Amino acid sequence: MLSTKILLKRCAMAAIVVASTAFAAGGDASGPAPSFTLTTLAGQASGLSAYKGQVVMVNFWATWCGPCQQEMPLLDQMYKKYKPAGFTLIGVNVDKEAPPVKQLLERKPVSFPVLLDPANQVSKAYHVDEMPSSVIIDRKGQIRYIHRGYKPGDENDYQDRIRQLIRE
Amino acid sequence: MMQKHFFTRAAVIAALLLVRSTSADVLPDNRADVFYSKYSGGGMDITGYSATARAKITENFAVEANYFIDKVSGASIDVLSQASVIKDERKQKSGTIEYLRDKTTYTASYTSSVERDYISNTAAISLSQDMFGDLTTVTLGFANTQNKVGENNGTANDPNVAWLGHALTRAYSGGVSQIITKNFIAGVNLQVITDAGYLANPYRSIRYLVPVDVNPKGYALGNQVYPDTHTSTAVQVQGKYYLPYRAAVTALYRYYTDTWGVVGNTYELDYTHPIRNRWIFEGRVRYYKQSAATFYSDLFPFADSQNFTARDQNLAALDNTTIGAKVTYAFLPDGWRFFKRGTVTLDVSRIRFNYLDFRNIKDYGLPQYSPGSEPLYNFNANVFQAFVSMYF
Amino acid sequence: MRCAKLLLSGTVLGALLLSSGCSIQPWVKPYERDRLADPIMAWDRDAISNAYLDHIRESREGSRGATGGAGGGCGCN
């Protein structure tokens, strides 16, 4: 039988943890990255497991999200730069329909893999609470960092984290 | 037991170290518009030209500038006491700055409106805050306007303006916008406006009964006498719903009441229908009804019958119905060079004004109609707008 | 004594929630805002045109105020 005091303490701690993590914009996170399998625009199946052992950044984006469009070319540059060092970037698109995604990527292509999550299962599993969101996962498959939103200059932040994890 | 405490403590420490930096919403896209408008109705023709541009200086800071010029010609129904044709020009300039920090947008603006016989300057500030997972937006605003009111005692081409007084207007506003479902957003606005000073329209007159041997018309004209204060409260509720085949329907209701006894009800319904990335069609229907101000009368029994007297048609009991249609065509749907998008828009409205206690004394009178039995006034107005918008 | 403890825990929890900016989990997730982000769902798609219509109405009616709207959109960033 837990005393009210201990119950209160645990409730309070749980509240702080839940509240703070729910609204932190960019911070260290922890836990194993939920695995997923989605399809590319071409219809091929792919997922996190295909990149085991690499540093992975999962970027959640949408065609209707302005800041997402802004960071895409920079993410592309970053992908090309660090790919040889064992880094990969997976763009998880959350649009409900594929045609706008296809049109956008035809006009502004990217070289990193883009997977479609129209049912939002992966977004839910990763507790996406801001658009765009970038989740950085280390070589062991653990989530190390979540970045919410995008502002010019954030790509420096991404690069710092990626370099740190590549070195591990 | 030890392990549990360790994890709990670690979690708490980690949680406390997390910077609760609230990421921010975004400032709207850069945009430039060139605008033309034409209003014709009730004997008046008003042509307007405007240019607006807004740009982000940094991701958090944007500026907007607007220039508007209105050219009025014609004579409205109640301008009886002077040269019948009005020709005037109004020039309005405004500048706005917007600053976005975390989930708050701060706005400050200054607007200056100048015409021969009326000068108005407004300074406004507002604050907009996103909360509850960006589902709720709370807005607060304050605006202060200084007005200088005059009367042109000359003619359109040879003016002679006498300045009659000043008026000070303060507007306090608050609003809450709430996302209800992924298809539905609703909002409520409240605005309280107070004015003090010279509040009447100097070109409008009252009329009161006089014997026919004093004036063959059976009435004489007199000056309006307005209270020197006025406070109004308006509440608007609105909702927008996304229809599954990609269209939007908007409904709004506004209730207005003021210390002059005017009660106004506005009902509006809009339907927006896009076609892919190129076209947006919009239709609107609006119905407005108001009760007259307590000191308003179309015909007073004799001179100085009340402390306050007005015969300004804006204060009469009236209703109006508007039907409008708007078409937007994207001639550059995906941009060109540094332009992200270019559109051209045409908007037409037809408004039917019906006065319930304001009579047409310009076209009707004795001997056919005795004062107070002239037909009630009504007229149709057409409003046309055309503008080109470039997003960059 | 029990009532007091419950009241205390309730107050502390409430204060924590408020201090953390009220962690009511949004029922419309950020990745579900595609429709709200559609330009047709904006309150004021063409602010200058709406301002002009408001100006016309205010010049001919006895009412003024409370027009316009804010919020909605993609809620990005």
Average pLDDT, chain B: 90
Residue A53: how many other CB atoms lie within 10 Å: 9
* A162 membership: H or E segment, kind and range: helix A154-167
CB contact (8 A) between residue C28 and residue B182: yes
Residue B285's Cβ-side half-sphere holds a number of Cα atoms within 13 Å equal to 4
Total domain count, chain C: 1
Say what the pLDDT of residue B203 is.
86
CB contact (8 A) between residue B23 and residue A20: no
3-state secondary structure of B184: strand
User: Peptide bond before B211: cis, by omega within 30 degrees of 0?
Assistant: no
Q: What length is written for chain B?
A: 392
The pLDDT of residue B385 is above 60: yes
Residue C61: how many other CB atoms lie within 10 Å: 22
Distance CA C50, CA B78 (A): 27
Distance CA C42, CA B78 (A): 39
CB contact (8 A) between residue C31 and residue A15: no
Cα-based angle B263, B147, B266 (whole degrees, multiple of 5): 20
Contacts of C30 in chain A (CB under 8 A): 128-131, 133
Say what the pLDDT of residue B180 is.
96
Q: How close, in Å, is residue C4 to chain A by CA atoms?
A: 11
pLDDT band at B155 (very low <50, low <70, confident <90, very high): confident
Distance CA C60, CA C51 (A): 15
Pick C20's closest partner by Cβ from A23, A94, A132. Answer: A23
Q: What length is written for chain A?
A: 168
**C76 belongs to a structural domain:** no
Contacts of C39 in chain A (CB under 8 A): none
Say what the pLDDT of residue B23 is.
30
CB contacts < 8 A (A, C): 87
Distance CA B345, CA B279 (A): 10
pLDDT band at B320 (very low <50, low <70, confident <90, very high): very high
| pLDDT tens-digit series, residues B253-262 | 999 999 999 9
Say what the pLDDT of residue A4 is.
62
CB proximity under 8 Å: B 45-74 to C: 48, 50, 52, 66
Which residue, among C49, C57, C74, would best test binding to B if mutated, counting the most B CBs under 10 Å from its CB? C49
Contacts of A19 in chain C (CB under 8 A): 16-17, 20-21, 23
3-state secondary structure of B190: strand
The pLDDT of residue B272 is above 50: yes
Adjacent-strand bridge partners of A25: none
Residue of C nearest to B36 (CA): C49
Contacts of C66 in chain B (CB under 8 A): 173, 189-191, 234-236, 254, 256
The more confident residue out of A158 and C2 is A158
Adjacent-strand bridge partners of B223: B205
Say what the pLDDT of residue B88 is.
86
CB contact (8 A) between residue A22 and residue C23: yes
Residue B57: how many other CB atoms lie within 10 Å: 11
The pLDDT of residue A14 is above 60: no
Q: How far apart are the first and last CA of chain B?
A: 60
CB A103 within 8 A of CB B334: no
Distance CA C50, CA C66 (A): 13
CB contact (8 A) between residue B21 and residue A25: yes
Residue of A nearest to B9 (CA): A13
Residue B361's Cβ-side half-sphere holds a number of Cα atoms within 13 Å equal to 24
User: Peptide bond before A100: cis, by omega within 30 degrees of 0?
Assistant: no
**C5 belongs to a structural domain:** no
Radius of gyration of chain B (CA): 26
Residues ≥6 apart with Cβ < 8 Å to B312: B78, B200, B201, B204, B224, B296
**C4 belongs to a structural domain:** no
Say what the pLDDT of residue A27 is.
76
- Is the CB of residue A97 less than 8 Å away from at least one CB of chain B? no
Closest alpha carbon to B133 in A150, A123, A129, C69: A129
Residues ≥6 apart with Cβ < 8 Å to B112: B92, B93, B94, B119, B120, B121, B122
CB A133 within 8 A of CB A57: no
Pick C63's closest partner by Cβ from B133, B182, B234. Answer: B234
| pLDDT tens-digit series, residues B333-364 | 988 888 999 999 999 999 999 999 999 998 89
- Is the CB of residue A107 less than 8 Å away from at least one CB of chain B? yes
Touching partners of C (3+ C-beta pairs < 8 Å): A, B
CB A95 within 8 A of CB A101: yes
- Is the CB of residue C63 less than 8 Å away from at least one CB of chain B? yes
| pLDDT tens-digit series, residues B19-61 | 333 334 788 889 999 999 999 998 889 999 999 999 999 989 9
Question: Is domain B2-391 in CATH 2.30.30, yes or no?
Answer: no
Say what the pLDDT of residue B334 is.
84
Touching partners of A (3+ C-beta pairs < 8 Å): B, C
Which residue, among B185, B268, B320, B328, would best test binding to C if mutated, counting the most C CBs under 10 Å from its CB? B185
CB contact (8 A) between residue B14 and residue A28: yes
| Per-residue tokens: B348 | 């037409």
- Is the CB of residue A151 less than 8 Å away from at least one CB of chain B? yes
Q: What length is written for chain C?
A: 77
CB B368 within 8 A of CB B360: no
CB contact (8 A) between residue A120 and residue C2: no
The pLDDT of residue A8 is above 90: no
Going along chain A from its start, the domains and CATH numbers come out as 26-167 (3.40.30.10)
**C17 belongs to a structural domain:** no
pTM (predicted TM-score): 0.85
Touching partners of B (3+ C-beta pairs < 8 Å): A, C
What torsion do the CA atoms of A116, A121, A124, A130 make, to the nearest 10 degrees? 20
Say what the pLDDT of residue B61 is.
94
Contacts of A27 in chain B (CB under 8 A): 18-19
pLDDT band at A15 (very low <50, low <70, confident <90, very high): very low
| pLDDT tens-digit series, residues B213-260 | 999 999 999 999 999 999 999 999 999 999 999 999 999 999 999 999
CB contact (8 A) between residue B12 and residue A17: yes
Q: Which domain holds residue C40?
A: 23-62
Residue of A nearest to C38 (CA): A64
Contacts of A129 in chain C (CB under 8 A): 26, 29-30
Residue C77: how many other CB atoms lie within 10 Å: 29
How far apart, in Å, are the Cα atoms of A86 and each of A51, A74, B357?
9, 18, 81
**DSSP count for chain C of H helices, then E strands:** 3, 0
Adjacent-strand bridge partners of B101: B104
Range with the largest mean pLDDT of A153-157, A159-163, B316-320, C29-33:
B316-320
| pLDDT tens-digit series, residues C2-50 | 666 666 655 555 555 444 545 667 899 999 999 999 999 999 999 889 9
Distance CA B371, CA B210 (A): 10
- Is the CB of residue C14 less than 8 Å away from at least one CB of chain B? no
| Per-residue tokens: A67 | 């800041």
The pLDDT of residue B15 is above 70: no
| pLDDT tens-digit series, residues A21-72 | 344 456 777 889 999 999 998 889 999 999 989 999 999 999 999 999 989 9
* B110 membership: H or E segment, kind and range: strand B104-115
What percent of chain B stands above pLDDT 70?
Answer: 91
Distance CA B21, CA C26 (A): 18
- Is the CB of residue A17 less than 8 Å away from at least one CB of chain B? yes
